[in-house]
Amino acid sequence: MHTPSDAMETRAGGPGAFARFDLNRVPSPAFVVDEAAILRNLALLKDVGARGNARVLLALKAFSMWSLADLVGEYLDGVCASGLWEARLAREFYRGHLTTYSPAYKAGDLSEILRLSDSVIFNTPAQIARFADLIAEARAAGETFDIGLRLNPEQSEAEVAKYDPCQFGSRLGYPVSQLRPEHLQGVDGLHLHALCEQGFEPLQRIWASLEPKIEGALASLKWLNLGGGHHVTRADYDREGLIALLRGIGERHGIEVYIEPGEAIALDAGILVGEVLDTFENSLPVAITDISATCHMPDVIEAPYRPAMLGEADEGVTFRLGGPSCLAGDIIGDYRFASPPTPGTRIAFLDQAHYSMVKTTTFNGVPLPAIALWNSDTDALRVVRRFDYPDFRDRLS
């Protein structure tokens, strides 16, 4: 079995079209998303769904840039949400199927979630039983939705322990070893999610381990959701293997199959632009930037990992880059410059469209990055969102 490590390697595929983007065209800091790159990723995912006879959903938890919702709707079958607010966002801007999953629901939220969603996935059979009256009331009121149960396949494959849904004592999914026939009463489908930024082979191993354990249950179900974490649009991903697996599951068991990629939609499709504010020496050269790891790229600290910098020099002087917050650990990493950067020097980090954008905070009053949409095919550029002091103030009281 795969043993998770404590650090994650960046999956950035290179600068691509951003190698020719003028960083001074946008305010600093700013996320810049390439619409043409998103379109290429969506086209690949649509092809996988069509040839695999599966439905492909965008995981909003990874990429919620709703200014691209219409584009997503042209290629994918819908979206998946992680709770009430994402479900509301989905119905306001996106179209198609909506699946909602949360490790636990509040009773006060569930009625609206049942109204908004096409499928509502629960984490344990006990939750389904506890909310049986709410489910019955919603259906009596005319709402139409499926009920799903998330399984923990108990097969660790994720590279980093804290991102492993199958880690010891995991709170995500009902252990398949505890699954009993009575747990599936009133259940329309099963959901599993055990990957994180991974290729096809880990999914293949998980399914090989899980299928014999649930084969009998699948005959009475309508669908199977294989979750997210699939880096389907990465150049080295075995898409043909995935297509064959999806089609094979559907044909063997007579059920509808879903996948929920998030990162794959925005992989290598965005950068985070910033600038150097100050430099000084303290045992090594240090540069303060208006990009904060803790506020703008929290996975740099949480994963942890070292994001790739656009145009990093092969040789030169190495600077430690860190953010403007008071957190001592607000360190992005050590990067090489052909010549020492000076205040005002623009920099950018690759592959920041997914997760970074949805995880930003205003800790310390650090401003949120603007959001810009660029099309590398036409060179059209527009800033779709700027944030100001009221966005910080109104989160507080």
Rounded-to-integer distance, Cα 176 and Cα 211, Å = 11
pLDDT tens digit sequence for 41-62: 999 999 999 999 999 999 999 9
- Please, which pLDDT band fits residue 4 given cuts at 50, 70 and 90? very low
Least confident span in 161-170, 262-271, 286-295, 348-357: 161-170
Inform me whether the pLDDT recorded for 150 exceeds 80: yes
Which two three-digit tokens encode residue 63? Answer: 């990429």
Residues 160, 162, 168, 174, CA torsion sign: negative
Residue 164 has pLDDT above 70, yes or no: yes
Q: How far apart are CA 352 and CA 348, in angstroms?
A: 10
Q: How confident is the model at residue 159 (pLDDT cuts 50, 70, 90)?
A: confident
The region that residue 236 occupies, defined by phi over 0 for left and psi between -120 and 50 for alpha, beta otherwise, is: alpha
On the question of a common fold for 53-266 and 270-393, the answer reads: no
pLDDT at 2 over 70: no
| 90, 76 contact by CB (below 8 A) | no
Per-residue pLDDT at 230 = 84
* Predicted TM-score (pTM) of this structure: 0.94
Tokens linked to 160: 């980093």
Is the CB of residue 34 less than 8 Å from the CB of residue 26?
no
Higher pLDDT pick, 7 / 31: 31
Provide the pLDDT confidence category of residue 10 given band limits of 50, 70 and 90. low
**Under CATH, to which class is 53-266 assigned?**
alpha beta
State what percent of residues in the chain have pLDDT above 70: 97
Lowest mean pLDDT among 194-203, 310-319, 368-377: 194-203
Residue 281 or residue 5, greater confidence: 281
Q: Compute how many other C-beta atoms are within 10 angstroms of the C-beta atom of residue 170.
A: 14
CATH number of 270-393: 2.40.37.10
Among residues 121, 209, 122, which one has the least CA distance to residue 157? Answer: 209
Residue from 153, 144, 137, 91 nearest 119 by CA: 144
Reply yes or no on whether the pLDDT at 90 is more than 50: yes
Which pLDDT score is estimated for 300? 95
For the chain, the average pLDDT equals 94
Per-domain residue ranges of the chain: 53-266, 270-393
Question: Residues with Cβ < 8 Å from 189, sequence gap 6 or more?
Answer: 119, 121, 146, 147, 148, 149, 221, 222, 223, 224, 225, 255
Which range is least confidently modeled, 5-9, 63-67, 118-122, 386-390?
A: 5-9
b/e sequence 314-350, b meaning 16+ C-beta within 10 Å? eeeeebbbbbbbebeebbbbebebeeebeeebbbbbb
